[in-house]
Amino acid sequence: MRYWSLLVLTIFALSASSAQMQDVPPNHWAYQAIRQLIREGLLEGYPDRTFRPNETVTRAQFAQAIARAYQNLTARIAAAQQRLERLTEAPITQPAPQPDATRDALRQLQQEVEALRGMREAVDTLQRLAQEFEPELRQQKLVVEDLRDEWQSLEERVRALERRFARFTGEVHFGSVGTHSFEKRSAYTLNGTEINPSGKLLQSFASTHEMVLRVNQAVSPTINARATMVFGNYLPYVRAASRNADIFRANRTALSVRNTDFAIWEAVIETPLELFGQQFQATVGRYPLKLSRYTFQRVEPDYYLNLPHYRDGAHRVDGAKLDATYGALSVSLFFGSNWGSRGNQTALFPIYFANHNSSVSAPADQFAGVHLRYRTQISADIPLEAGFTYFAAGLGRNRTYQHINRTVENNVDRADVLGLTLQSQIAEIPISIEYAQSILWRGDSRAVGGKNRAFDASAAYRFSDRWDILVGYREIDPYFVAPGNWGRIGYLYNPSDIKGSYLITNYTLTDRLQLRFTGDFYNGRRTLPFNQGYQGSDRLNRYMLEARYQLNERWHFEASYENVRWEINSLAFGGNRGKPEWNYLTFRARYDLGKDIDLNFLYQIIDANGKGVPQLSGGPSPTGNRAGVFAAQLGMQF
């Protein structure tokens, strides 16, 4: 009976050893899995330092492997619990600052718990195998318990300890962005703004600053409160923390520095709540909400300055969220409003229903919905996760907005979004499928109920520990305007009216040099009349090559080249035909000045040419547009 395939996937927790892969050739299907487990110190071979991957493994031998795995996991959890006990028993003097030694010990414990959390999928597999091999395990006098409960208890105790050490944390950032043109030929940046065509750097130079302050405080043993405040002129500079993906109707004037603003970025109370006999975890206040890229995900506001709290893709909304678990089913109910999510200078989180050439005329103000997630096993080694999302959004009573396209204008008072997702892994190949619809309503009638769907399917494969690839296929209808964030091509966000394939491949050349290639290959959807949208003869391709290099512990470098090409053969752009082309060459450097402080530099060259299609010229000039962008940033965490 051959159990080696399950053995490779599940026996990750054996004692560390220096076993060598003497009898596993590099072209063997299990080579990379075994190599990774050895490197992590989680797998050992036979006493003669071999693995014998093609030999039959008896039930008794496999049961022994399961037993050792459980013993190893139990030991790791026990060790974490002991460290937790020592930290819990340590005296805490308030308001004296937390000692560095205690803070470092807590951080190490957090890392250990996070590592254990990452093994949940493997533990699920072990639990199923333990049921099959229960007679053999009983003979070894091993009672297999559900380790997931142990982990949950450990996580809760760690969170409680974190609340005991409640303290202010935060970060400070100073940034500078400047643009210049070549030969007084402007362009649009990847933020979608126009570069000053004067050719002079200091005529479009801006300096930004921002301080983020966070506080986390336990109200009671079960109730926790946390808040994040933002001070600075960065949000007024970029106008909002969310970008409008409809670049053809967005404000493309140059960004400028405005007055310093204060905003409450996040402020929530988290507490258990019992409703109708069911236990919920309630989150009330201004809380983060993010679902999937085709349903609800924030488009980042800025390409050039890197501020971590803008990179999570979550909107902050005022309202409440209820989470509950029924066995393998997780349920989230949410409702909220973003009408009051404003600073003195800025609307913080506008929720745009938009793609790159179609949108609703105003951000949604309020919404409510449900998100379901169900996890199961098709077989012992094929997991399945299914997700369902549905929410409705609107502007409020007695107000309407419009759905705007080059050919469609309809008054709308509500927008619904439906999303379905499937994720699985078959023969070590992760598979993901997503389907979504955006349905716009006027009263009880659909204002836009067709040509409003999105479909995406992808699969990934790891050839080795250095090389992996993801390939996919997507179709985006022209009127699909869900407030998601499904991609970027040049300065166009959320591309639509297209169908075709894409791929992403990563290769680690050395421990210090990593490469990534991204390719998008699309044709027009051909769902609109011949003079109103992309047709089957129209093509859109994108190629992007990225390289990351670490010179030493302090210096980190990145370089990327992006090329976007169209072939317009239809009358979709007012009868203009041609082969527009955009090019972006970007260099980044980061220097670590010390613990929690770094300095970043960026320079980008933009060269765009409409080649007969003024609407795709990449800038205000109907022909060629060339310019550069420079950015520098100093950041510190405390």
Per the prediction, the chain carries an average pLDDT of: 81
* Whether 323 and 472 share a structural domain: yes
Please check whether residues 441 and 471 belong to one and the same domain.
yes
C-alpha span between 39 and 119 (Å, rounded): 16
pLDDT at 110: 60
**Are 327 and 415 contained in the same domain?**
yes
Give pLDDT tens digits for 308-328: 889 889 999 999 999 998 888
Mean pLDDT of 4-31: 43
Residue 459: pLDDT over 50? yes
| End-of-domain residue from the set 113, 140, 164 | 164
Indicate whether 94 and 136 sit together in one domain.
Answer: yes
Cβ pair 601, 589 in contact under 8 A: yes
pLDDT computed for residue 616 by the predictor: 92
Indicate the burial class of 427 (C-beta count within 10 angstroms; 0-12, 13-18, 19 or more): exposed
Q: Residue 68: pLDDT band by 50, 70, 90 thresholds?
A: low
Do 536 and 480 share a structural domain? yes
Per-residue pLDDT tens digits for 510-542 = 989 999 999 999 999 999 988 889 999 999 999
Residues 480 and 618 reside in one and the same domain: yes
Are 499 and 591 found together in one domain?
Answer: yes
Query: Do 282 and 316 have their domain in common?
Result: yes
- Indicate whether 245 pLDDT > 80: yes
Same domain, 399 and 548: yes
Task: Mark which of 164, 196, 222 sits at the end of a domain.
Answer: 164
What distance in Å separates the CA atoms of residue 62 and residue 9, rounded to the nearest whole number?
12
Q: What is the pLDDT of residue 465?
A: 86
- What total number of domains does the chain contain? 2
Q: Which residues form the domain of 175? A: 168-637
Give the residue among 631, 621, 622 at the shortest CA–CA distance from 184: 621
Same structural domain for residues 177 and 80? Answer: no
352 and 303 within one domain: yes
pLDDT tens-digit profile of 125-179?
555 556 655 666 666 555 555 555 665 666 666 666 655 555 678 899 999 999 9
- Average pLDDT on 261-276 reads 90
Task: Identify the CATH number of the domain in which residue 329 sits.
Answer: 2.40.160
pTM beyond cutoff 0.85: no
Radius of gyration, CA atoms only, the chain: 27
Q: Token digits for 192? A: 């979608």
| ∠ CA 498-502-503, rounded to 5° | 170
Q: Give the residue from 132, 147, 164 where a domain finishes.
A: 164
Q: Kindly state whether residues 160 and 272 are assigned to the same domain.
A: no
